[in-house]
Amino acid sequence: MTINRRKFLKTLGIATFSSQIVSFAAQANLSVNNVLKPRRLQVGDTVGLISPAGIVDTEDIAKAKQTLAALGLKVKLGRHILDRYGYLAGKDVDRAADVNSMFVDKSVKAIIAMRGGWGCNRILPLLNYSLIRSHPKILIGYSDITSLLLAINARSRIVTFHGPVAISSWNGFTLDYLKPILFERKAVTMQNTLITEIRRRTINSGKARGKLVGGNLSVLTAMVGSFYLPSWHHSILFVEDIGEDIYRIDRMLTQLKNTGILNTIYGFIFGECSNCSTGNKPSLTLLQVLKDHLQPLGIPAWYGAMIGHIKDKFTLPIGINVEIDADAATLKMLEAAVI
């Protein structure tokens, strides 16, 4: 009995795709429901520095070493940290290898991304999520590092941390939140200081509890429809962005609404939109856009938290339970994020 060649190839394609899904599910350990918390940092620990996105130079590394030494931490560099491939810090396979290697390296207690830029989305299919789950560690960064934070939280079921990258300003405000969370195992309440450049605005009043999820809005939106996002059910979504015209923020929020994500979440926080412009043409304001999308939902929401491409930053644990108060503009951790 013969089979039509086109039908055979179509059947083969479906079978191959199905086997890929099964393989991916097995690798990602999808049957595991519990979220793992990494071990806390201690003075004397070694942290791994990686460049999973944009390129860095020796001056960046020297600055990062100085910053981390002031916290009593030692540094181990990723093998490919100084690689260059166009605007990327090396080939995809090499950047992914540094991520995988740092998780399996027993001498490394936490992993810090050197900087953002672009490139983390490209390496997500190359990460070994089951290996990463078997070696849970602190992973911290922001901006393009959003891809790694969300994918590893979703597929490896590990708490990850939206916070400073290695070349950030690790100033007093930033450390006042980072150290209690990552070193001291404290559940803290995050609130803007009285003296801040960000004017916070309540969009919808109220309190809500849920699982904290989020990151850079542009990066997160680019991941929609992939295997690499966590569940939005019972979640508190936080986002931030930089250098985007307001209509683009509107477009991205519209995508989150049209895909059903905004209708699923319990609460919403917009951090800072640094250098976001209304452009030369008639435009809505950012606050108008946020109100258009969020007020009809009736969920607690506010704008102006210390999240984003700014000097003073919160450290936000992705995957733990929190309570937000949109009127007081506070985010309260309901549990420690490390063990």
Supply the residues annotated as catalytic.
143, 240, 309
pLDDT, residue 17, reads 37
- 21 vs 33: which has the higher pLDDT: 33
Question: Which pair of tokens denotes residue 318?
Answer: 């992705």
pLDDT per position as a tens digit, 287-308: 999 999 999 999 999 999 999 9
The residue to which tokens 């290697």 are assigned:
101
Please say if the pLDDT value at position 102 is more than 90.
Answer: yes
Q: Where are the alpha helices (DSSP H) in 29-171?
A: 58-69, 92-104, 120-123, 129-133, 146-155
Instruction: Quote the strand ranges of the chain, DSSP E.
Output: 46-50, 74-77, 108-113, 138-141, 160-162, 189-191, 201-204, 207-216, 235-242, 267-274, 301-303, 316-318, 321-325, 330-333
Average pLDDT over every residue of 176-183: 98
60-94 per-position pLDDT tens digit: 999 999 999 999 999 999 999 999 999 999 999 99
For residue 87 the two structure tokens come to 């605007």
Residue 58: CB atoms within 10 Å: 9
The pLDDT score that the predictor gives to residue 195 is: 64
Percent of the chain with pLDDT over 90: 86
Q: What's the rounded Cα separation, in Å, for the pair 86 and 65?
A: 25
Round the average pLDDT of the chain to a whole number and report it: 91
Question: Residue 281 has what pLDDT?
Answer: 84
Q: Which domains does the chain have, with CATH numbers?
A: 46-168 (3.40.50.10740), 189-333 (3.50.30.60)
Phi, psi torsion values for 305, nearest 5 degrees: -80, 160
What's the sign of the alpha-carbon dihedral 105, 107, 111, 115?
Answer: negative
What Cα–Cα distance (Å) separates residue 194 from each residue in 163, 301, 306, 329?
A: 21, 20, 12, 12
Compute the distance between CA of residue 93 and CA of residue 95 in angstroms, rounded to an integer: 6
For 118, the token pair is: 């672009």
- Which of the four pLDDT bands, split at 50, 70 and 90, describes residue 18? very low
Q: What is the DSSP letter of 86?
A: T
Instruction: Specify burial of residue 172 (Cβ count, 10 A radius: 0-12, 13-18, 19+).
Output: exposed
H or E segment at 187? none
- Note the pLDDT of residue 193: 82
Average pLDDT score over residue span 11-25: 39
